[in-house]
Amino acid sequence: MAGSNEMTINLVVLGRTQTGKSAAGNSLLGSDDFESQLSPSSVTTCCSLGHSCHISGITRRNGCELALRVRVLDTPGFPHSSLSKERVREMVRSALAQHFREEGLHLALLVLRADLPLCPDENEHTIQFIQELLGPTWKDFTAVLLTHADKAKEAGFSEEAYLHSVSSTLLSLLSSVQHKYVFLDNQKSKIKEERAIVLQKLLNFIRQNKYQVLLFKHNKE
């Protein structure tokens, strides 16, 4: 994960199609690596890895500034408009093994839209999908990324008011991942300061989990 004065964090974005996974990946990387667009069918059809350049001013170790490097694996959504659940799962599993086999995965980001309710059936399928991918310790390695925070704000919700109004399904999901969640406005988060705030929150989650990583084995497709 780290040289003497640098640190790399490995992330994967997972979730339903059109929730803003690719946009979130771009926000975290500060780039346009991933194709992100509004579409009536799923845009992302394969996994791809993007990495940021070295970012300064985010984190320190023993009083010394570390250059942070972020790697993000973008994935096709689940459910997907043209790929089966099994196909998406195998593609993601194989990409996790290919890209994070040596260094491991620090954090999976479950991407949900803050402006849409999370319903029990959808939640159940998503959790099952993540559990199948990450295994029994998935809760330690998962944080929720609430995209479209701008829309929730436009509708008059502060973060606090939002959390008072959300479905019990989302509240219980947030509780099961030890309240590791971040609101994200993908329109704004390429701004340096906004991006730094989000990255610092993710680093705190990784620190809370003692910098542990999930390792993946190659499996024959």
Q: By CB under 6 A, name the binding residues for ligand GTP.
A: 17-23, 36-39, 42-44, 77, 147-148, 150-151, 184-187
Report the 10 Å Cβ neighbour count for 121: 8
Closest C-alpha to 49, from 12, 9, 24: 12
Contact indicator for 105, 12 with CB cutoff of 8 Å: yes
CB of 196 to ligand GTP, least distance (A): 17
If the CB atoms of residues 17 and 126 are measured against ligand GTP, the closer one turns out to be: 17
If the CB atoms of residues 45 and 209 are measured against ligand GTP, the closer one turns out to be: 45
Measure CA 115 to chain center: 17
3-state secondary structure (DSSP) of residue 176 = helix
If the CB atoms of residues 146 and 177 are measured against ligand GTP, the closer one turns out to be: 146
Measure CA 101 to chain center: 18
CB of 136 to ligand GTP, least distance (A): 26
CB of 78 to ligand GTP, least distance (A): 9
If the CB atoms of residues 78 and 205 are measured against ligand GTP, the closer one turns out to be: 78
